[in-house]
Structure 1
Amino acid sequence: MARIKPQALLQQSKKKKAPSRISLTTIILFSLIVFMVVFFIFSAYRHFSHRSVNPDEPVRYTSRKVGELKNIDVPKYAIIQTSKGAIAVELFKDGSPEIVDEFIELCQKGHFKGMQFHRVIKHYVIQAGDIHSIGPAEQWTLKGKHYSQLDRSVKHEAFMLGTSKSKHDSKGFELYITTAPIPDLNEKITVFGRVTKGEEVVQEIEEVDTDDHYVPKSAIGIMDVTLEQKL
């Protein structure tokens, strides 16, 4: 058997101890992973830092007072979440600016959460508010009214949102939604909005069983009201 020369053994030993080189493919792959991680972190930061000003996101006004809102920031719609479903209302800021401002401020304070529909008169109106201050039911009946002489202005249509014209504190701010064209109701309430979605919810509330004083026999309440720039 041929003997291996010492010089050859030394060279083989050096080859075994020499560190292996990292391939170019491994370097490229590692760099790509690092880049993707950094890009993901940066994108996530930009998304959450600018989320509140994204025009495609629904804007909810729950912290700023009405006086701090710019004209372009004033919400145009209110979503009334009831136990029967959601009712979307377009707010008439130009027609009833003071009432709309008061309504928005009360929404921010959670005034309408838990409010009950305490009076339901079929083919007339549904009313939400304080059941202890509803007054005589006769004030809201249709006796002696002639539909042939209805004023056809927008405020006399069905599915209009309003509140009492009488002076009241914030606790007395009640909501009325008409379910038929009501000309005389304009003498009692200030209309400040129109139902644009959820008419079927209004009609479902209108159809509930009531007692002789038009009070629903089963509780129907408002869970919350949120404000939106667009639907």
Structure 2
Amino acid sequence: MALYTPSVVPNGKEIAVITTSKGTIRVQLAGNDAPIHVGNFIELAEKGFYDNLKFHRFVPHFVIQGGDPNTKQYSAEEVARMADNPYSGLGTGGPGYCIKEEYSTNPNNSHEDGALAMARSQDPNSAGSQFYLCLGPQHMLDSGYTVFGQTIEGKDVIGLLRAGDVIESIEILNR
């Protein structure tokens, strides 16, 4: 699959306002450090791609993950029930393209508590739409996954999220 280059060029000041069924999270996006990831995230958010998707993976003290379009067809309760089934198909969806990794070029690629990073498969250049928020520092991921934002408000909300909770919308400020 050819790698996609987003048309959005970040200015480095963008903030993502992620409204969930448990509350609102504000993330300072790292457009200067991970411009491809931030540009891609902004494009998807502004198209409404993430609206009403569900978080499909929760690992206590590790991550909460969302952004899989396969969750749209299911209710929150169904996603919560399916989350631990490796054959459910959850966690396999994307936007139909992949983007280039930036963890090797991002000077601030640090998985701190509340970091926003892009999930991927075994191929380093396989990220697309699925993202995760760190539930505590996860520095073992620094050398393999691109961090493209840091939570500035709503870490308490992140701590409440579980599989099945809804991403109601993502709004981008300071564009």
Normalising TM by the smaller chain, what interval? 0.5 to 0.7
What are the within-5 Å matches in structure 2 for residues 10-49 of structure 1?
A: none
Cα drift, residue 160 of structure 1: 0.1
- The answer for the alignment partner of 2:170 in structure 1 is 225
Distance 1:125 1:106, change over 3 A: same
**What's the TM-score, normalizing by structure 2?**
0.67
**3-state SS of paired residue (2:56):** strand
- What is the alpha-carbon distance in structure 2 between the residues aligned to residue 121 and residue 225 of structure 1? 22
Task: Tell me, yes or no, if structure 1 residue 119 matches structure 2 residue 76.
Answer: no
Cα drift, residue 121 of structure 1: 0.7
- Which letter does structure 1 place at the counterpart of 2:18? I
- Which letter does structure 1 place at the counterpart of 2:91? I
- What is the alpha-carbon distance in structure 1 between the residues aligned to residue 153 and residue 26 of structure 2? 5
Per-residue CA deviations over 1:105-128 (Å, capped at 9, x if unaligned) read 111111111111111111111100
2:111 to 149, 152, 156: 156
Cα drift, residue 133 of structure 1: 4.8
Cα drift, residue 186 of structure 1: 2.3
- Which letter does structure 2 place at the counterpart of 1:202? I
Higher relative contact order (CA 8 A, sep 6+): 2
- What is the alpha-carbon distance in structure 1 between the residues aligned to residue 25 and residue 151 of structure 2? 7
- The answer for the alignment partner of 2:8 in structure 1 is 66
**3-state SS of paired residue (1:167):** coil
- What is the alpha-carbon distance in structure 2 between the residues aligned to residue 126 and residue 80 of structure 1? 13
Cα drift, residue 102 of structure 1: 0.8
- What is the alpha-carbon distance in structure 2 between the residues aligned to residue 80 and residue 194 of structure 1? 12
Task: Tell me, yes or no, if structure 1 residue 110 matches structure 2 residue 48.
Answer: yes
What are the within-5 Å matches in structure 2 for residues 124-203 of structure 1?
A: 124-130=62-68, 132-134=89-91, 155-165=110-120, 166-168=124-126, 172-203=128-159
More helix by share: 1
- What is the alpha-carbon distance in structure 2 between the residues aligned to residue 186 and residue 115 of structure 1? 26
- What is the alpha-carbon distance in structure 2 between the residues aligned to residue 189 and residue 154 of structure 1? 8
Distance 1:116 1:184, change over 3 A: same
- The answer for the alignment partner of 2:17 in structure 1 is 79
- Which letter does structure 2 place at the counterpart of 1:125? V
- What is the alpha-carbon distance in structure 2 between the residues aligned to residue 220 and residue 100 of structure 1? 23
Distance 1:99 1:75, change over 3 A: same
Aligned-residue CA RMSD (Å)? 2.4
- What is the alpha-carbon distance in structure 2 between the residues aligned to residue 94 and residue 190 of structure 1? 13
- What is the alpha-carbon distance in structure 2 between the residues aligned to residue 154 and residue 98 of structure 1? 14
Where does structure 2 lack aligned partners over 5 or more consecutive residues? 1-6, 72-88, 93-107
**What's the TM-score, normalizing by structure 1?**
0.51
- What is the alpha-carbon distance in structure 2 between the residues aligned to residue 202 and residue 118 of structure 1? 14
More strand by share: 2
Percent of residue pairs bearing the same amino acid type: 32
Per-residue CA deviations over 1:212-231 (Å, capped at 9, x if unaligned) read xxxx3xx201000001129x
Per-residue CA deviations over 1:42-86 (Å, capped at 9, x if unaligned) read xxxxxxxxxxxxxxxxxxxxxxx626x8x4xx6510100000000
Q: How many residues align?
A: 132
8 Å Cα contact 2:117/2:131 also seen in 1: yes
Query: Highest CA radius of gyration, 1 or 2?
Result: 1
Q: Where do 4+ consecutive residues of structure 1 move more than 3 Å? A: 165-169
